[in-house]
Amino acid sequence: MIYLDNCATTKPDKEVVEVMMKALTDDFANPSSLHIFGHKVEKEIEVARKNAASLIETQADEIYFTSGGTESNNIAIHGAIEKNKRRGKKIITSAIEHASIDDQFKHYREKGYDVVYLDVDETGAVDLEKFKEVMDEDTILVSLIYVHNELGTVNKVKKIFEIAKSINKDVFCHVDGVQAVGKIPVNVKDLGCHTFSFSSHKIYGPKGMGALYKRKDVNINSLVIGGGQEKGLRSGTENVPGILGFGKACELTKRDLDKRLAHAKEIKEYLLKKLEENLKDYKINTPEDSTDFIVSLSILDIRAEVLLHYLEGDEIYISTASACTSNGTHKSTTLEQIGLSDKYAEGTIRICTSKDTTEEDIDIFVEKLVKYVDEIRKIMR
């Protein structure tokens, strides 16, 4: 099997699985229990919290465990808007956000909020000058994706937030960092954000786990009321196996990040070289200064979903767009935003490599890709 859909999810690391199995079979106590067994598990959770904090260069008391990136984004967005609703109703975001952000703003737009969707340039990045034009003192929230899930584009969120705060020092700044963590170095303190979301299953951890960084001086309302876990921000008995697995994934990602980034760069360069040597009539949509784990490839005279099914017959797995939205029935908003023509857009696939992707994997993938592209073109032309 050659798995090149690592933006959708990653294979859990063996050490992560081992930690989770131990939590399921041995460390099964409720961390809220008063006995020593419960305290033991609670301490293990705090170790996981420190590992998650270390990965994004912050302190453990600013990390809150959630069920994933979507919940983290919801807590941050809803919390920020509810906290600041008396100050104004203007929100700024980009036109190519993940559905867990975009759908929330559609909801608030229906409730009367002024949601400004910034168009992006041909690389998929927010234009700083356009941002300056729309940012004002009435803006209560700026929410932006850090690394784009389809293109790999890295937004200049630090600079954007600096501009925002120079105009309105009280504006709330949120970052969707789900595709950034593990794919680029992340320092939330340097970014200047109030909240930052990230996810376990994007960094070789378990699904159903995520975290929200919330700056310690920031107070936002909870979505889930109950037992007071996670300092009341996210009540409910902790998912101990998930948290410990996530913590281990964070520890390994922090330890091996430089090596993983270097490997991804080598694999991307090799992939682009093989494509140039073997494939005709295509475009690379991913800009040069992007994360090296993601390549958006548009191929002329094919349908991406047809190619996907050809490849899966050889146990080669890719994506046509974000796995959270792709259903093969519409043109990606992202591809429209970067000005890609329909004839290229319908043949767009996303290749997302991992720490385990090899040059041999790329050789086989490109060989099969070229073969099936030729077959599809004969049918479609």
**Bridge-based pairing state of the strands 294-299 and 114-118:** unpaired
Q: Please classify residue 237 by burial: count the beta carbons closer than 10 Å to its beta carbon, then call 0-12 exposed, 13-18 middle and 19+ buried.
A: exposed
Catalytic site residue from 193, 250, 324, 352:
324
Tokens of 244: 């410990």
Q: What is the DSSP string of 203-262?
A: TTS-TT-EEEEE-TT-----SB-SS-TGGGTB-S---HHHHHHHHHHHHHHHHHHHHHHH
| Tokens read off for 236 | 């409910």
Yes or no: say if 105 and 93 are a contact pair by the CB < 8 Å rule.
yes
- Strands 348-352 and 294-299, by their bridges, are antiparallel
d(CA 17, CA 11): 10
**Which among 322, 337, 363 is positioned nearest to 98, based on CA atoms?**
322
Name residue 174's beta-bridge partners: 143, 195
Q: Does 324 qualify as catalytic in the annotation?
A: yes
362 contacts 316 by C-beta, under 8 angstroms: no
**3-class secondary-structure state, position 30:** coil
Phi, psi of 139, rounded to the nearest 5 degrees: -75, 125
Task: Give, for 211, the enclosing helix (H) or strand (E).
Answer: strand 210-214
* SS3 label, residue 107: helix
Residues identified as active-site: 324
